[in-house]
């Protein structure tokens, strides 16, 4: 098998989202999203909220914190 050296003709085009550097603000948003989701998951697990309420909280968390790669997260039913 022959390998070729990557050049501008062989490199894949990556979306800006993947090549953009992480900022401190973006990292903090992701951490806050993760923490909020963990609280919501624990509430669901303990029966404090319904699945419907959990899904609403998940959407609110996505809208509020705009986590990295939110575009590819599963759709909420």
Residue 40 lies in a domain: yes
Residue 8 lies in a domain: no
Q: What's the residue count for the chain?
A: 77
- Residue 32: CB partners within 8 Å, gap ≥ 6? 65
Residue 11 lies in a domain: no
Residue 43 lies in a domain: yes
What average pLDDT does the segment 18-34 reach? 80
What's residue 27's pLDDT?
A: 84
Q: Is the pTM of this model over 0.85?
A: no
What's residue 26's pLDDT?
A: 83
How many Å is the maximal CA-CA distance in the chain? 59
How many domains are contained in the chain? Answer: 1
Residue 75 lies in a domain: no
Bigger pLDDT: 33 vs 5? 33
Bigger pLDDT: 77 vs 36? 36
Residue 77 lies in a domain: no
User: In percent, how much of the chain has pLDDT > 90?
Assistant: 32
Residue range(s) defining the domain that contains residue 38: 24-70
């Amino acid at each position: 098998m022959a390998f070729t050296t990557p050049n501008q003709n062989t490199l894949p085009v990556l979306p800006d989202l993947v090549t953009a550097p992480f900022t401190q603000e973006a990292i903090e948003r992701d951490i806050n999203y993760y923490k909020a989701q963990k609280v919501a998951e624990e509430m669901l697990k303990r029966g404090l909220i319904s699945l419907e309420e959990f899904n609403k909280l998940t959407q609110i968390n996505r809208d509020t914190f705009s986590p990295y790669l939110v575009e590819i997260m599963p759709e909420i039913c």
